[in-house]
């Protein structure tokens, strides 16, 4: 009896199987539309409800990783047909998410922005590094039979659907600064995931484009554009990170100074501090509960000790004083620090 052995190396068979799987999953079909629409609905309402578990739950149905994987494979294989199909699927998937989130955003424009939403409006280079690692994980899962790539795929998709929904929810309210920040995060995640996905596929032996690299200028330019986008995003997000860190340090130091200065007034405590830019200056609003009154001179002395703002604009301290009475078992505390006029006024109002 004659036995025929396959001439295909097992590794080559795995690569071909992975190619087929990636190409099939990148299709824009009914399941892709339904699952991404449901993911957008879950993510949008979870963001509005400030529900971390709800945002995580959106990953169970999202399917945006598949077309990104198709784009990555097309770049390393030089497959222009797959590139077109994958980009159309990705664009369609993003469009579905945006439309669903936009409808929900208009319906619930009165709900205040949650912490989960605001957390996605200031992307930084750390987010880019997470996305780069996520793309590598996704690619490794696709080419490694032992890893359940469906679970990995939907987990990575959470880096795409929530920021897309966040940006659209803010856009529905007309809050374009926050919307642009969230959209930038989504775009950065897409590019980073695609970039490292392509690298892992290349290292794993997906080399169809190798022989065409110098004969097909389109293949060269597509990979150059992908690399250039990652570099530009890294630079932009690094700059954004510096701005965020600088602002955080400024706000932290301002709070420290306020706490130190207010502690010099016996019985006084800070209940709230807010900082924002208005009227061409940096306004520092502080609410202080104290048994003592604050004069304009007191406010001026505290304001002079505040750190300079990173944007170079002048600082104005606005102190809101709430009169409090500190009571102990022995009676009112800090009476000895009150002026005679304040004591007289207090005695006059005593029953």
pLDDT given for residue 338 in this prediction: 45
**Angular region, 74: left φ>0, alpha ψ -120 to 50, beta rest:** alpha
**Is 167 in contact with 182 (CB distance < 8 Å)?**
yes
Overall CATH class of domain 249-340: alpha beta
Helix axis angle, 125-143 to 217-262, nearest 10°? 140
pLDDT mean by block of 10 residues, the chain; 351 residues: 50 72 84 90 92 76 83 81 89 94 93 88 79 77 62 57 93 91 88 84 69 53 67 72 78 90 84 84 89 86 89 88 78 54 43 40
Per-residue pLDDT, 279: 77
Q: What is the pLDDT of residue 281?
A: 87
* DSSP 8-state code for residue 7: -
pLDDT at position 350 is 41
| pLDDT for the residue 337 | 44
The dihedral through the CA atoms of 236, 238, 243, 247 has a sign that is: positive
Tokens of 294: 């604050």
- State how far the Cα of 261 lies from the Cα of 254, in Å rounded to an integer: 11
Q: Tell me if the pTM is above 0.85.
A: no
Q: How far is CA 226 from CA 158, 197, 209, 230, in A?
A: 22, 11, 15, 7
- The residue ranges of every structural domain in the chain are 10-210, 249-340
Burial class (CB within 10 angstroms; exposed 0-12, middle 13-18, buried 19+) of 2: exposed
Helix axes 80-107, 30-48, angle to 10 degrees: 40
Q: Please tell me the predicted confidence (pLDDT) of residue 165.
A: 94
Helix (H, G, I), strand (E, B) or coil at 267: coil
Rounded CA gap, 12 and 195, in Å? 23
DSSP 82-130: HHHHHHHHHHHHHHHHHHHHHHHHHHTTTSPPPHHHHTTSS--HHHHHH
Residue 179, pLDDT score: 92
Alpha-carbon distances of 85 from 117, 154, 222, rounded to whole Å: 32, 20, 15
- Per-residue pLDDT at 78: 76
pLDDT for the residue 99: 95
Q: How far is CA 175 from CA 40, 172, 199, 288, in A?
A: 20, 8, 37, 31
């Amino acid at each position: 009896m004659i036995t025929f052995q396959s001439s295909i190396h097992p590794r080559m068979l795995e690569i071909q199987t992975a190619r087929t799987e990636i190409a099939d999953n990148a299709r824009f079909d009914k399941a892709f539309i339904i699952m991404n629409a449901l993911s957008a609905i879950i993510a949008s309402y979870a963001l509005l409800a400030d529900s971390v578990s709800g945002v995580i739950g959106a990953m169970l149905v999202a399917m945006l990783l598949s077309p990104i994987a198709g784009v990555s494979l097309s770049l390393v294989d030089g497959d222009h047909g797959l590139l077109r199909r994958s980009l159309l699927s990705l664009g369609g998937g993003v469009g579905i998410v945006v439309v669903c989130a936009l409808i929900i955003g208009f319906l619930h424009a009165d709900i205040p922005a949650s912490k989960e939403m605001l957390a996605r409006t200031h992307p930084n280079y750390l987010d880019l590094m997470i996305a780069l690692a996520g793309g590598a994980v996704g690619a490794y899962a696709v080419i490694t039979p032992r890893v359940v790539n469906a679970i990995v795929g939907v987990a990575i998709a959470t880096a795409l659907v929530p920021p897309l929904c966040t940006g659209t929810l803010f856009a529905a309210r007309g809050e374009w600064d926050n919307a642009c920040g969230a959209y930038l995060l989504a775009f950065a995640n897409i590019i980073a995931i695609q970039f490292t996905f392509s690298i892992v596929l290349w290292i794993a032996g997906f080399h169809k484009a190798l022989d065409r690299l110098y004969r097909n200028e389109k293949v060269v330019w597509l990979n150059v554009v992908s690399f250039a986008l990652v570099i530009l995003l890294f630079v932009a997000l690094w700059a954004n990170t510096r701005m965020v860190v600088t602002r955080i340090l400024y706000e932290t130091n301002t709070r420290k100074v306020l706490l130190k200065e207010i502690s010099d007034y016996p019985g006084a405590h800070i209940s709230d501090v807010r900082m924002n830019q208005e009227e061409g200056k940096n306004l520092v609003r502080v609410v202080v509960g104290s048994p003592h009154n604050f004069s304009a001179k007191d406010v001026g002395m505290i304001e002079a000790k505040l750190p300079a703002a990173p944007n170079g604009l002048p600082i104005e301290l606005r102190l809101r004083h709430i009169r409090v009475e500190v009571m102990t078992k022995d009676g009112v505390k800090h009476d000895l620090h009150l002026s005679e006029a304040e004591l007289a006024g207090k005695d006059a109002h005593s029953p």
